[in-house]
Amino acid sequence: MKTLSILLFLVLMSPGLLPAETPSAESSVLPEVKTSPVPQPTGTAEKRGEQARRSDDLGQSSTALVKQVGTYDQLLSAVREMKSESRVRVEKAVEQERVREAWEIGRLIDAHVLQHKERADYAKQVLPRLAGDLGMSERELYYMLKFYRAYPILPSTAELSWGHYRELLSVNDPKERETVASEAVKNKWSEKETREAVRKVKARAGEKATPAEILTAQPGKPYTYRVVLARTGGPYAGELAVDLGFSNYVRLAEVVEDTSPFKEGDVLEFSEEEGEVRLLNESPSTETSAGKRGTSPESLLYTYRTYVHRVLDGDTIEAVVDLGFGITTMQTLRFRGIDAPEIATRDGMEAKEFVESVIASPAGAKQSQNDGIAASSRQPAELLAMTAKFPVLIKTTKSDKYDRYLVDVFAGDKYVNNLLLKQGLAVRVEE
Least confident of 91-100, 196-205, 279-288, 362-371: 362-371
Q: Please say which residue of 155, 175, 204 terminates a domain.
A: 204
Q: What is the pLDDT, as a whole number, of residue 431?
A: 61
Q: Which domain holds residue 413?
A: 224-428
Rounded CA gap, 201 and 275, in Å?
60
Statement to judge: residues 293 and 406 lie in one domain: yes
Structural domains in the chain (count): 2
Residue 149 has pLDDT above 90, yes or no: yes
Higher pLDDT, 118 or 229: 229
For 298-348, the pLDDT digits (tens) are 889 999 999 998 999 999 999 999 999 989 999 999 999 888 887 777 778
Statement to judge: residues 183 and 304 lie in one domain: no
C-beta of residue 394 within 8 angstroms of C-beta of residue 409? yes
For 398-420, the pLDDT digits (tens) are 776 667 899 999 998 899 999 99
Does residue 175 lie in a domain region? Answer: yes
Q: Is 188 left (phi over 0), alpha (psi -120 to 50) or beta?
A: left
Statement to judge: residues 101 and 250 lie in one domain: no
Residue 297 has pLDDT above 90, yes or no: no
Does residue 34 lie in a domain region? Answer: no
Q: What is the pLDDT, as a whole number, of residue 355?
A: 93
Statement to judge: residues 185 and 228 lie in one domain: no
DSSP letters for 23-64 = P-TT--PPPPPPPPPPP---S-HHHHHHHHHHHHHHHHHHHH
CATH number at 250 reads 2.40.50.90
Strand order across the 240-245 sheet: 248-251, 240-245, 224-229, 267-271, 276-280
Does residue 342 lie in a domain region? Answer: yes
Statement to judge: residues 108 and 187 lie in one domain: yes
Statement to judge: residues 186 and 282 lie in one domain: no
Does residue 111 lie in a domain region? Answer: yes
For 22-62, the pLDDT digits (tens) are 444 444 443 443 444 444 555 555 555 555 555 555 455 55
Does residue 71 lie in a domain region? Answer: no
Q: What is the pLDDT, as a whole number, of residue 146?
A: 94
Q: What is the pLDDT, as a whole number, of residue 354?
A: 92
CB count, 10 Å around CB of 314?
26
Statement to judge: residues 199 and 285 lie in one domain: no
Statement to judge: residues 199 and 231 lie in one domain: no
Residue 222 has pLDDT above 60, yes or no: yes
349 band by pLDDT with thresholds 50, 70 and 90: confident
Statement to judge: residues 177 and 326 lie in one domain: no
Nearest residue to 313 (alpha-carbon basis) of 284, 333, 287, 291: 333
Statement to judge: residues 417 and 287 lie in one domain: yes
233 band by pLDDT with thresholds 50, 70 and 90: low
CATH number at 143 reads 1.10.10
400: amino acid identity, one letter? D
Q: Please say which residue of 204, 233, 263 terminates a domain.
A: 204
Q: Between the ranges 11-20, 55-64, 211-220, 309-318, where is the mean pLDDT highest?
A: 309-318
Q: Please say which residue of 138, 172, 204 terminates a domain.
A: 204
Query: What 3-state DSSP class applies to 335?
Result: strand
Q: What is the pLDDT, as a whole number, of residue 295?
A: 58
Higher pLDDT, 262 or 380: 262
Residue 155 has pLDDT above 50, yes or no: yes
Which is it for strands 414-415 and 405-411: parallel, antiparallel or unpaired? antiparallel
Statement to judge: residues 254 and 351 lie in one domain: yes
Statement to judge: residues 247 and 153 lie in one domain: no
Q: What is the pLDDT, as a whole number, of residue 177?
A: 92
DSSP letters for 123-175 = HHHHHHHHHHHHT--HHHHHHHHHHHHH-SS----SS--HHHHHHHTT--SHH
